Amino acid sequence: MGHPATPVPAALTSTVQRWREEGEPAQPAVRWSRDAWRKHFPHRHAFLDALPDLVDRAEATRHAAHAATPEGAEQAFLAAMIWGYGRVGYGPWRTARVLTENPSAPERLAEVALVAREHGGLAAFRDLARAPLRYLGVAFGTKYLRFVTAAADHANAPILDAVVRRWLATHTGLRLTIDEWRPASYEKYVALLTSWSAQLGLAADTVEELIFRSAVSRAGSGQWSEEWAGAEEPADKAQATLLELERLFDTAEAGSARAARPHLDELHRIIQHGWPRPSAR
């Protein structure tokens, strides 16, 4: 007898309903700074120049189809990181650090892509956990895994970053550790999304996408905004700042991320339980 399905949180049910009512719009493509990436990757100018000004999941998946070779893996990794960082200024530098400070990084990325292609996302995650690349954490590592599994039409490896982790903690009480590569935590996450996807009639990585998009959308807005720009309420601005801090620590050393985690959790608790109004004078 199988385990009972985990109930879908009301917040996710309403997000899916709204998404369907709006015609199931695709996630907006990400604008990126071509010049900044060209500066850090002079040997990849031809590849970078061929990318569109806006990169979406489909574009990153297209390049991930060629990740079985070191050259293809490096280009697939670049496309995934460009999509993941967007216009964040430190994105090119952090991506270059992964590729330059790990011996044979493109070869390692190609190995992981082959594992993902042949055995699926969970196996690829375990393989990366066995011999992780320095400076590549779970948040951005699972972005790469997501695209290489999607390109192979294999069991997807849904992205697990600070935004999704925070949403899960808020709406389910589940607190996953993503400061290090922990297969048990990722397996629990995949099992949860798989259960929800079956109940919602959606792919697991679509569920992840909708969780992410709802988490970063401006509070109370019907728009699928990828930024908090324009937020006027103090709580919205606080959430915006916390989100940026979470994303920053997604790319930090594991020790720094662990040290910051309790403080970020406490900030979230304060914001979640109400933003104090200024006292009258």
pLDDT of 35 over the 60 cut: yes
The pLDDT of residue 233 is 44
Structural domain harbouring 227: 11-272
Q: What sections of 34-161 are H helices per DSSP?
A: 34-40, 45-50, 57-64, 70-85, 91-100, 105-119, 121-130, 138-151
The domain total for the chain is 1
Residue 1 maps to a domain:
no
pLDDT of 270 over the 80 cut: no
Residue 193 maps to a domain:
yes
Residue 278 maps to a domain:
no
pLDDT digits (tens, 9 = 90+) for 39-65: 999 999 999 999 999 999 999 999 999
pLDDT digits (tens, 9 = 90+) for 69-123: 999 999 999 999 999 999 888 899 999 999 999 999 999 999 999 999 999 999 9
Residue 4 maps to a domain:
no
Residue 129 maps to a domain:
yes
The pLDDT of residue 179 is 83
Please, which pLDDT band fits residue 275 given cuts at 50, 70 and 90?
very low
Residue 5 maps to a domain:
no
Contacts of 216 (CB under 8 A, 6+ apart): 163, 225, 226, 227, 228, 243
pLDDT digits (tens, 9 = 90+) for 132-143: 999 999 999 999
The pLDDT of residue 177 is 85
Residue 162 maps to a domain:
yes
Residue 31 maps to a domain:
yes
pLDDT digits (tens, 9 = 90+) for 246-259: 555 555 555 555 55
Contact 100, 77 (CB under 8 A): no
